[in-house]
Structure 1
Amino acid sequence: MTDHPDLTLRVAEMADASSLAALSVEVWVATYLREGVGAAFADYVLQEHTPARMRAVIAAPTSHIIVSQNRMGIDGYIRVDMGAPAPVPGGPDVEIRTLYVQPRHHGRGLGRSLLSAALAHCAKQGVPAVWLASNAENLPAKRFYLSQGFDRAGETAFVLEGQSYLNDVFVRDCGLAKPPAD
């Protein structure tokens, strides 16, 4: 499953909120701010990824967060939101809103393990399919999702202060509890 012998996957708890917020800032900045930090992006990331917002998500009955924890702390998480319609015709209404793994832990199977756990949770809830959006320029993420059985279903945009950023929309059936091995 992973090469982390001390890996634990578990449902997020309120006490995880600050760790999840810090991890979110780290991954978001490392992924999307490649050419410097502009005020709009800095304001967005610092307002969006706060302990208070994470506590609200953890408490929300429509959200489910699974964390990956090693002996030192949380190194990744996946967030599933029910009742979040896909921005493509006929798409599912359950979104994998976030799948973040600390960059230094990439390539060790954490993302695969978190995705597998989330899909198993969705299947147990009777969810037939899920969707997610990934920045169109994030080639490693796109390759990962395609390798895990997702199909590109269309596109949408992330809009920040009037600027639009293209995102690909991916859909996957939840009938299988485990994604295909890569």
Structure 2
Amino acid sequence: MITIREADSRDIDALQAIGCATYREHFSSIWTAEGIQQFLDQDFSLHTLRDSLATKSEHLWLLALDEQQHPIGFAKLNWARPTPGSGIPGAELQKIYLLKSQAGKGHGRRLLEHVLQRATDAGEPCLWLDVLKSNIGAQRFYASAGLRQVGEVPFNTDLEQIGMWVMACDLPGRSNRLSPRSPL
């Protein structure tokens, strides 16, 4: 069983370490060594993390801890972000990462369920994310939680042009803005 709690400035080192480790574990094949390092230096810099944690009105960082309270993953939500293709505002699940050693234990499902509940509690009409077109496993995972493909956005690394699917779901208690009739 994992514990999920809101991250704060005391967690910067843990977020940086997990962010860099998990991104390398999952995505090193789509970057050169130099390219991935530049990406990580920008995305998980202490300055970037500090700024993001300080703007709670815009971002929510959740930290997943194992039974011994060691960090094993995290999620980052951005509030009221327009869904690509439609502009419908919702909670963007920008990041959800778990260490590969924690895969298959149900932790990812628990973290995603927590994210969905937090977005619902915040009054967001929908939750959306983007996922690499080549990441079939992640697409199945999100689809099993009720998200569906509603669009696509470009994504390039220093090695290739990959592209991403935008996946989204309406949240309980809100109008079905992402219904099949929606212009997404």
TM-score range, shorter chain: 0.7 to 0.9
**Aligned-CA RMSD value:** 2.0
Which of 107, 122, 135 is 2:132 aligned to?
135
Q: Is the 8 A contact 2:147 2:168 kept in 1?
A: yes
Q: In structure 2, the residue corresponding to 1:68 is in which secondary structure?
A: strand
Structure 2 residue 30 is the aligned partner of structure 1 residue 31? no
CA distance in 2, matches of 1:76, 1:134: 17
1:59 alignment counterpart = 54
1:179 alignment counterpart = none
Q: In structure 1, the residue corresponding to 2:40 is in which secondary structure?
A: helix
Q: Scaled by the length of structure 2, what TM-score is found?
A: 0.84
Structure 2 residue 65 is the aligned partner of structure 1 residue 69? yes
Q: Is the 8 A contact 1:67 1:114 kept in 2?
A: no
Q: How many residues align?
A: 171
Structure 2 residue 23 is the aligned partner of structure 1 residue 8? no
Residues 35 and 47 of structure 1: CA distance in aligned 2, closer, same or farther (over 3 Å): closer
Q: Is the 8 A contact 2:148 2:169 kept in 1?
A: yes
CA offset at residue 53 of structure 1?
1.6
Gaps of 5+ in 2: 174-184
Residues 114 and 29 of structure 1: CA distance in aligned 2, closer, same or farther (over 3 Å): same
1:149 alignment counterpart = 146
Segments of 4+ in structure 1 off by > 4 A? 160-163
Q: In structure 1, the residue corresponding to 2:153 is in which secondary structure?
A: strand
Q: Is the 8 A contact 1:91 1:171 kept in 2?
A: no
Once the two structures are superposed, the pairs formed by residues 1-182 of structure 1 within 5 Å of their partners are 4=1, 7-34=2-29, 37-60=32-55, 61-70=57-66, 71-160=68-157, 164-175=161-172
Deviations 1:104-140 (A, max 9, x none): 1011111111111111111111112111000111121
CA distance in 1, matches of 2:17, 2:134: 24
Q: Scaled by the length of structure 1, what TM-score is found?
A: 0.85
CA distance in 1, matches of 2:7, 2:20: 17
Residues 44 and 36 of structure 1: CA distance in aligned 2, closer, same or farther (over 3 Å): closer
Higher mean C-alpha displacement, 34-43 vs 24-33 = 34-43
CA distance in 1, matches of 2:127, 2:87: 12
